[in-house]
Amino acid sequence: MERGFVGILTSGGDASGMNATIRAVTRSAICHGFKVKGIFRGYEGLINDEMKEMSTEDVSNIIQRGGTILKTARSKEFETSEGRKKAYEVMQKENISALVVIGGDGSLRGARTFAEEYDVTCIGLPGTIDNDLCGTDVTIGYDTALNTIVECVDKIRDTATSHERIFFVEVMGRDAGFLAQNSAIASGAEAAIIPEDQTDSDQLEEFISRGFRKTKNSSIVIVTESPNGKGATYYAERVMREYPQYDVRVTILGHLQRGGSPSANDRILASRLGYTAIQALLEGQRNVMVGIRNDEVVYVPFTEAIKKNKPIDKSLIAVLNELSI
Ligand code: ADP
């Protein structure tokens, strides 16, 4: 049966495993008789009609590569109704009947708005290291970023121990503490300061009185980045002021958390979700994100997926506190 084109794009912050997702969507689509157009630079490329037809060979040898072969971008124009109108017209012109969007919550927010305004079919795939999309236990890129952070913290610990210092290590996550909390558990850090837990002063005070005081001469505290200036530097400066007896340092891991070869878990997740995106189209699903819950692939309406404040399992906080004595 002859089918229309599936358009595929990556949008927002890059995440490891996006390439594995592009590969999975492209190959599954072709298996089911769709043709595929790869759209460059996210929504910006859709508006500007930057795309090419993809063959199975175009996605060879990319499952192991970080970043995205389709490039990614942020598009101010797509946030305007004129921009989305242009995007719709390009889809018509290019005979794209369905759009697969790989990205974070901003990208899926854009897809939802687009699908509300026009009669388009969008399928979202959660591609973000922050793990902040609701309705899915994990997002593509999160596991790789977590592993990268743990590898870095292992190295920082050598210096922290040798020099008997407190290190505040800042990690990504935007408004979500998943990376900080779980990397702290996995690296044996003494504390995590995350947006979901109490007030900032409580967390610092608690750490100082609980952990550093007793048996340890060095400590590592993982802090979620903060748009309000309350990242690792803020806490380090407070400790320097309030506890001048401690030798304090800051490491901001920054963009090295985003790239690198995806972990096996991220490749498998990307492959399962990419495959299911095409199954979703075959079933007539529209305007849903494909996610994973309890190891089962699920469809999550966009409105649900982009809800704020995905809850973090609070028992993780107890695990870290108890094991860091
Ligand atoms: P991420 O997808 O990683 O969260 P952003 O938040 O930067 O990244 O969003 C990526 C892009 O999605 C934006 O540059 C914009 O083009 C589009 N977008 C985000 N929010 C909206 C919105 N409310 N309406 C339309 N487009 C949006």
Per-residue HEC secondary structure of 18-59 comes to HHHHHHHHHHHHHHCCCEEEEECCHHHHHHCCCEEEECCHHH
**If we measure between CA atoms, which residue out of 255, 103, 234 comes closest to residue 168?**
234
Q: Is the separation of the CB atoms in 179 and 142 below 8 Å?
A: yes
DSSP class of residue 4 equals -
pLDDT value of position 231: 94
pLDDT value of position 199: 63
Ligand 1 atom index nearest CA of 105: 4
Ligand 1 atom index nearest CA of 130: 3
pLDDT value of position 2: 57
DSSP class of residue 195 equals T
Q: Ligand 1 centre and the CA of 125: distance in Å? A: 14
Catalytic residues: 130
Ligand 1 proximity of 13 Cβ (cutoff 6 Å)? yes
Ligand 1 proximity of 12 Cβ (cutoff 6 Å)? yes
Q: Ligand 1 centre and the CA of 93: distance in Å? A: 24
Nearest CA to ligand 1 atom 22: 110
The 10s digit of each residue's pLDDT in 22-36 is: 999 999 999 999 999
pLDDT value of position 122: 98
Nearest CA to ligand 1 atom 9: 106
Q: Ligand 1 centre and the CA of 117: distance in Å? A: 16
Which residues of the chain fall short of a pLDDT of 50?
A: 1
**Which of 109, 129, 302 maximizes ligand 1 atoms within 8 Å of its Cβ, making it the mutation to test the pocket?**
109
Ligand 1 proximity of 78 Cβ (cutoff 6 Å)? yes
Measured distance CA(213)–CA(147) in Å, rounded: 29
Ligand 1 proximity of 83 Cβ (cutoff 6 Å)? no
